[in-house]
Structure 1
């Protein structure tokens, strides 16, 4: 364990003069932490590795024992086990920490309608592995109570959700269109910007309003909160192909509704509409536009 610890610590601590004493110190840390969660079987080596990687960065001459005393070893043990996907640890984390979130959020005067969404998002962010990396609970360092760390995470998620629901289409600059080239760079594109961009955005807004609350909520999570399809699948308890199908269907609905309105409003033919969209897409990310549309939505989760 001493060799494992020294190999993974951020600070290259000098090897202790008495290795046996250091071994006993690490063994005691593991046993003390494990005693808090007897149902969670986490071997000593991965715990010591996890511990070493999160130890406060100090001088190489700093004794390790005082540093260990600064950490909540039992909660660090549970977090490590959760990050490794140990079912008993995840069950305990949900029972002892996530189950307390609704009450904590109400204490911070979070909107009642948003609390369930926040709790679901926190669970996904903290516990779900994604192709991009491990669960966020790996970021808990053991400095401070785990429940406080979870609460802070939840409050940040709540703030993001509240910010995403503030009306912005009329109050904030249209970043997507502002990023398009200045007049004269592309005559055809400039003509569309000056003559038709208002009609286009209005048509998208109207198309978006025809979606169900579930579909608007899905788009908000995907475009505004930037959850991956992997995370959405875990959140809605379906497979990724189902999420992909939902997104494809929803985006197709917006496309078709936008097409119908623009063809009627501008007198465009089906061919003209496709050319019109192609020109816009060459300069503007449609996902950014949909992201802006979702910011005013407060739909609930799919069932």
Structure 2
């Protein structure tokens, strides 16, 4: 009986991250090293300006390892792009915007109860941003089909959620804990606020956010809550950095004005006390804006 081949460097990289119960079958797979070389080469040929190490690509492949008999049918070029997008690689994000989303949009059509722009904005956030320390959703793409088809399925599900008011509320309302990140947790001035006032402030922020346009909400969410830089947002929206920065600043000003209105209607405070409450929100937004734009 012919002994199983020991495998080359790519095989060993794959095995380092593959489930142990798959090792024996992978080592016995004829031509695995050459196949892995082919997959890596195909990814690099499709996206030559994307920076992604072979180790990171094979680690991603190992997490979604198909059966040995279907490994040959892997969509390596799409998997390569998805892996780089999950890592936040700038060129990969540009290619996702230029080559994947337009095809999705052209096949998605107009969804009742939601605009195409809304659907794509939520898709960007779900796919390209991690939530609560989790990896971006695009990291779940396994390469068994096309990336465009997979994203289209995600976008179609988002469109269905947006058709109901309950779904829209769930997608676009931030939890109080997230909104309170607009304020510094160790801000001594904030601790002087009574618990009731803090709750009213959070409620006012939620109501003000609901009155913003979807684009304004998305920009504030991406910048202030997810911490994306202006360069990253400009890449996602395919707009000049200066234009994105201006729109973020305008959205922030609208949020402050709307929050002021909500606070005035909910709290019986004099003008100075009301401005002090609003100043807590404004100071944290300004600090965040200046830090991330440097």
Length-normalised TM-score, structure 2: 0.56
Offset from partner CA, 1:81-105 (integer Å, 9 cap, x none): 1122222222222111112233222
Structure 1 counterpart of 2:54, from 36, 44, 61:
44
Change (3 A) 1:2 1:125: same
Offset from partner CA, 1:98-154 (integer Å, 9 cap, x none): 122332221xx4148611121122123222356623322111111222111111111
Structure 2 counterpart of 1:257, from 259, 265, 288:
265
C-alpha separation in 2, matches of 1:167 and 1:29: 40
Match status 1:35 vs 2:35: no
Match status 1:22 vs 2:25: no
Structure 2, gaps ≥5 residues long: 1-9, 170-202, 238-243, 271-294
Name the Cα RMSD after superposition.
Answer: 4.3
Name the structure 1 match of 2:80.
77
Looking at secondary structure, tell me which structure has more helix per residue.
Answer: 2
Change (3 A) 1:37 1:149: same
C-alpha separation in 1, matches of 2:218 and 2:162: 9
Distance apart, 1:79 and its partner CA: 0.7
C-alpha separation in 2, matches of 1:20 and 1:144: 24
Structure 2 counterpart of 1:99, from 76, 84, 102:
102
Offset from partner CA, 1:250-302 (integer Å, 9 cap, x none): 44532322347xxxxxxxxx79xxxxxxxxxxxxxxxxxxxxxxxxxxxxxxx
Name the structure 1 match of 2:126.
125
- Secondary structure in structure 2 of the residue aligned to 1:142: coil
Change (3 A) 1:21 1:149: closer
Structure 1, gaps ≥5 residues long: 59-63, 169-203, 261-269, 272-303
Change (3 A) 1:17 1:166: closer
Name the structure 2 match of 1:144.
145
**Structure ranking higher on relative contact order (CA contacts 8 Å, 6+ apart):** 1
1:2 touches 1:23 (CA, 8 Å); kept in 2? yes
Alignment of 1:131-170 (within 5 A): 132-164=133-165
Alignment of 1:175-254 (within 5 A): 214-215=211-212, 217=214, 229-230=225-226, 234=233, 237=244, 250-254=258-262
Length-normalised TM-score, structure 1: 0.55
Distance apart, 1:14 and its partner CA: 3.0
1:55 touches 1:67 (CA, 8 Å); kept in 2? no
Larger radius of gyration: 1
Q: How many residues align?
A: 213
Change (3 A) 1:227 1:111: farther
C-alpha separation in 1, matches of 2:228 and 2:259: 16
1:229 touches 1:244 (CA, 8 Å); kept in 2? no
Distance apart, 1:10 and its partner CA: 3.5
- Secondary structure in structure 2 of the residue aligned to 1:14: helix
Match status 1:90 vs 2:99: no
Offset from partner CA, 1:211-240 (integer Å, 9 cap, x none): 698536589879xx999811788489459x
C-alpha separation in 2, matches of 1:212 and 1:45: 42
